[in-house]
Structure formats: structure tokens, C-alpha cells
Amino acid sequence: MFLLLAIDVGNTNTSIGIFHGDTLKHNWSISTESYKTTDEIGMLLLSMFQYANEDIELVNGVIICSVVPPLMHTLTSAVKKYIRKNPIVVGPGVKTGINIKYDNPREVGADKIVNAVSAIKLYGAPVIIVDFGTATTFCAVNSNKDYLGGVICPGIKISAEALFAKASKLPRVEIIEPTGVIGKNTVTSIQSGLFFGFLGQVEYIVEKIINEMKEDNITVVATGGFAGIMQPYCRCVDEVNSLLTLEGLKEIYYLNKNIWNV
């Protein structure tokens, strides 16, 4: 059985998954902390494998995508030291199977490309991926599997923190589904504004992207930490997959396995 370790480093959280062949057997989400040392990361990986009753010595391959450059040296060093594997790092030179139509393809975040690969594999093309992460991002892929580009907006959590920081009388609130649009106090009014404001933003932007793509049967896939909260109210979302990036990392690893001799 081929054992693959996939690591997705986001601005807020890092997702880690262990695959047995094509099957994701274990996954975790931890806080992204760029100050961690090589040994701290290594010991964390060891503890995860121990908890999952998996032998870290049996890992056949490792793949990483990251949007946090300061963490990459210590993370790759930890993988080399504790797993004794040279990881594939998603970036220029790594085969993905999609054409990037961005003005400068190097500017596209690795996580966006990985999500596009995963969405095409699982749901086909054309597809729009909405990622409710630190930023709320929209990625458009046409029926030819061309990555057309997308939209980047401040995430719902960033907006909530900015409101708290810049408005001295407004409290920090929990981001939850409100009972109605009209808030009856300051807290519920803020929660309503955040929730329904982002809901309207998502539906409007997706509608505009669909009109601009001029394609039929476009699937809209949501992922990221807040996708589960928003999805029941997002009429435009067809599928929700919180593990989209890990699944995409698996696909990219197998595309590159022989090329990179890993």
C-alpha cells in the first residue's frame, strides 16, 4: 500500500492528510505558526502518526503546497529529517495538467491551482471554486481545463476583526448563522451584516463569473473553513468539499511521481 503524506499550509490553518493509495485515511487541521522550529514540526508529525497508529517509516512520498513562504524551509527540513523523504513542493516546474491563463502564472497561489486540479478530477470542468479561507477567493476553470483567473476578497474573519479593531464601540463577535436579517442588538446586527453581506457577495460574484465564462453546466464548489456555515444559504453552490486541497495534492503527487523520481 502506497502511503502518502499531504500538507497544505494556509495563512491561518495547515491541513495534513495521510493517504493509503487513493483513500484519505486520516486528516488534521492545526494553526499555522511560522516560528516553529524544524524539530517542533518533526515531533508534531511523529505524534500525529502515532495517534493514527501509522508507521512514519513506511511513508512513500510527501507533497506540500504553501502560501506561507517563511515556513517552507523549516517544514521541508522537518520532512527530510524525520520522514527521510524529499517532498514535492507545488510550484513552477510541477506538472498539474491544467493551463494557467493568468498574466503571470507564477502569481497564482499554489492552493488555488491544487483546488482547481481537485475540482476538475472530482466534479469535471467547467468549474468555479469558492474558498472561504483567510481570504474569500473565486477561481474559474473552463471546459478546456484552462485556469482563467479569479477574484480575491477579504475573508469573513478578516472583516470581523477589522470592524472590531477600527470601530471602538463595536465588540468582537462569533461568526455564526443569524436567526434573521434584522439584528435586535449590536452583536446580532454585526453577525447579520457579516453573514448576509458575505452571502450576497458570493452569490453576486459567482453570477458575474458565470456570465463572463459563457459556458453551460458550470459546477460551483465551495471549500474552506466557513464553507459549511454559508453553504445552506448559498443558492449558487452545488458542492461542498472541505478536503478539496488535500485531494488535489494527492492527484498532483501521482502526476509527478515518476518525473521527480520520488
Residue where a domain terminates, one of 89, 111, 130: 89
Put simply, whether the predicted model's pTM sits higher than 0.85 gets the answer: yes
Same-domain check for residues 121 and 12: no
User: Does residue 262 form part of some domain?
Assistant: no
**Sorting pLDDT into bands at 50, 70 and 90, what band is 259?**
low
CATH of the domain at 79: 3.30.420.40
**Residues 41, 134, 68, CA angle at the centre, nearest 5°?**
40
**Mean pLDDT in residue range 218-230:** 90
pLDDT at residue 131 is higher than 70 = yes
Average pLDDT, rounded, for the chain = 92
Q: Which residues pair with 6 in a beta bridge?
A: 17, 63
- Could you tell me what percent of the chain has a pLDDT over 70? 98
Higher-confidence residue of 53 and 176: namely 53
CA proximity to 78, closest of 34, 30, 29, 40: 40
Q: Which residue in the list 111, 131, 146, 216 is annotated as catalytic? A: 111
Q: Which residue has the higher pLDDT, 246 or 169?
A: 246
Q: What is the pLDDT of residue 23?
A: 96
Express as a percent the part of the chain with pLDDT over 90. 74
Query: In angstroms, what is the C-alpha Rg of the chain?
Result: 19
Would the pLDDT of 8 be above 70?
A: yes
The domain containing residue 199 runs over which residues?
Answer: 99-245
Lowest mean pLDDT among 115-129, 192-206, 228-242: 228-242
- Report, as an integer, the average pLDDT of 222-239: 88
Q: Where are the beta strands (DSSP E) in 118-254?
A: 127-132, 135-141, 146-154, 219-223, 239-240
When pLDDT is cut at 50, 70 and 90, the band that residue 167 belongs to is confident
Domains in the chain, number: 2
238 is catalytic: no
Sign of CA dihedral 22, 124, 67, 153: negative
Q: Are residues 109 and 239 in the same domain?
A: yes
Is residue 229 in a domain? yes
Average pLDDT of the residues in 186-190: 91
- My answer on whether 162 and 241 are in the same domain is yes
Identify which of 31-35, 95-99, 225-229, 248-252 has the greatest average pLDDT: 248-252
CB 59 within 8 A of CB 83: yes
pLDDT at residue 42, rounded to an integer: 96
One domain for residues 125 and 220: yes
